Structure formats: C-alpha cells, structure tokens
Amino acid sequence: MAVIETRDLRKSYGQVEALRGVSIRVEPGEIYGLLGQNGAGKTTLIKVLLGIVHKTDGDATLLGLPSGTAAARRRVGYLPEDHAFPGYHTGYTLMDFYGQLYGMARSERRRKIPEMLEVVGIRKRMDNRIRTYSKGMKQRLGIAQAMFHDPAVIFLDEPTDGVDPVGRREIRDLMQQLKAEGRTVFLNSHLLGEVELVCDRVAIMHQGELVRQGTVADLTRQQNRFVIGLSSGQTFPGDEVTKLGYTVEPAGEHVEVVLPDGKGIDPVLALLQGKGLNLRHLVEKKQSLEDVFVSMVDATDAADERDRGPRRPGRARQVGTSRREK
C-alpha cells in the first residue's frame, strides 16, 4: 500500500489553478522530495493531503485512507512552512501542550519531552522561552513537535529554511534516522543540493503540474553521454568513433562521447578494444539536480511561450489559459 497516493488531483483557489492534475505515489519508508519554484503548488499539495484545504477534483489518499480524515491525520506529523510558535512558551511547555493535544498521559509527556528534544539537539535549552531561540532552534523544535506522537509519515515544509550548514546537516541526519525507523518523510524544499543528498525519490512541480518524477539517480543520469579516458600516451580515435555516428567532445584529459538516438556505448568500446587501447575511465555523465530542475522549468516555459506568447515568470496560471485545457 502506498503511504501517499494522488490521482489527477486538482485544486483551484478562485481563478488560480494551484494543482492541475497531479498524480504521485509515495512508498513506505522513503524520503520523497517535492521540488518547485515559488508558487508551484507544493504547499497546496500538502494542505490537500492533510485536509487543511479541500481538493477541487481528483483523488488523494494518505495511509490508504481518504486524505483529510481524522484517522489518517492522527498518524501524520507536520512541520508547516513559516510556523510561529508563541514566544512565551518554553521548548518544554510547547511540547507539553502538543502532547496534551495528542492525548498523551502526563507521565509519558514528562519522560518523552526531554528525550525528543535531545534527539533534535535542543534539550539543554528546553526551559528557555522560544523567543530566545535562533531560527534553527525553532525549526528543530518544530521537527520535534511533528515527530512527538510517533507518526508513520512526516511532512516537512522547508525544514532547513534559515538553518546554518551544520544545523542543516543535522536535520538531514534526522530525516535519515526517521527513515531508518521505517517512517516515510515527505519533504518540500527548494534547496536542491540538499534534496539531492537526502531524498530517495523526487518530483518536480511547475505551475501546478508534475513535470518529472523518479529517483535522484534516474533524474540526474544523462543517459546519452559518457566520459572516457584511455591509458596515458594513448590517443582516442575520435575520427573513427565519429564515423560510427557518435559525437566526440574534448573534456580535459578525457573525451565525452554523445550517443546518437537508439545506440549504446558498446560499439565504441568494441572499437577501442579492437585497436588494443586500454580503458582507464568510463563514466556515464551525471548532471546536478539543479541542472535537471532548471532545464525542466525552461522547457515547460518555452512550450508555454510557443503556445500562448511570452508570460512573466512566476505568475500564477489562471483558469481558462492552460495549454492543456481543451
């Protein structure tokens, strides 16, 4: 059973189509990253799944239950974007408040609060007021709050926003720990380097649509490009490889070989072997998640411009102007 599943999910706020037919599937125990520019619809997707806003159309299930039902919500932890805990609370009293909301007994709260704050690294400051906490400490407290009732799935909306590099690494480690415990983590972020480091699978959203979904390895692999290096003193037979239909480009001490459509790298390797050349380096070229993201967004914008003329970046799509509407 998928932990999260949406099928052709749609949400409009008046004239603004925030979700335009989004279908995703998140499996148990994975860290799933949702990427997108500001206004892409990421938070709206989380809000529909949690029942904070109602979908306009389509299906959404959480832990096999219709999204938004109380039974599903009980097993979910949520760190909202831009949350603001009351500054007069201490870390301890805030957790105690949430513990009561979750129906925990007093003795359980007393035992678990210091434990939980230890896990997120703010136990020493738990009796200080939240107004004295740094942004990073507030984020850690937010994560502790989201994890407190032992949820099966945790939604983290920009959890490392405003957190320093050391703190970001700790939050990444925390996500890995949650995964190791068998929980599912749904991460919203525009810090692509970070998503690349921590997520098992990633979806890219743009203007309310899913433009790409897959493992980080799949998304960043450039299937048509290999970097090849030969033993020192050997010359790469560029002309002969070009005659086979490949493009050869210099890449420092190596060469990059671009595959034509429908052809693999094997004929090139056979040619090198036939000539007695020694392969010292053979790597399928990767691109960063940021490269993938930017090229996806550019390609979608270019398609839009072709269909409808230039559009200012970031402007929300209005009902009736979608290139996919019939």
Amino acid identity for residue 214 in this structure:
G
How many other CB atoms are there within 10 angstroms of residue 186's CB atom? 25
Q: Which is nearer to ligand ATP, 36 or 136 (CB)?
A: 36
| Cα separation, 126 vs 54, whole angstroms | 36
From 1-9, 36-44, 120-128, 132-140, span contacting ligand ATP (CB under 6 A): 36-44
Distance CA 257, CA 246 (A): 7
- 3 state SS for 298-317: HHHHHHHHHHHCCCCCCCCC
- Among residues 11 and 225, whose Cβ is nearest to ligand ATP? 11
Q: Mask: binding to ligand ATP, 61-100, rule CB under 6 A, as x and -?
A: --------------------x-------------------
Stretch that binds ligand ATP, among 22-30, 40-48, 72-80, 132-140 (CB under 6 A): 40-48
Question: How far apart (Å, rounded) are the C-alpha atoms in residues 61 and 2?
Answer: 9
- Window 295 to 324, contacts with ligand ATP (CB under 6 A): 316
Q: 104 or 209: whose CB is closer to ligand ATP?
A: 209
Rounded Cα distance, 271 and 276, in Å: 9
Interacting residue with ligand ATP among 33, 36, 136, 151 (CB under 6 A):
36
> Should residue 227 be labelled a site residue for ligand ATP when binding is judged by CB under 6 A?
no
How far is 223 from 174, CA to CA, in rounded Å?
Answer: 33
- Which parts of this chain interact with ligand ATP (CB under 6 A)? 13, 16, 18, 36, 38-44, 81, 316
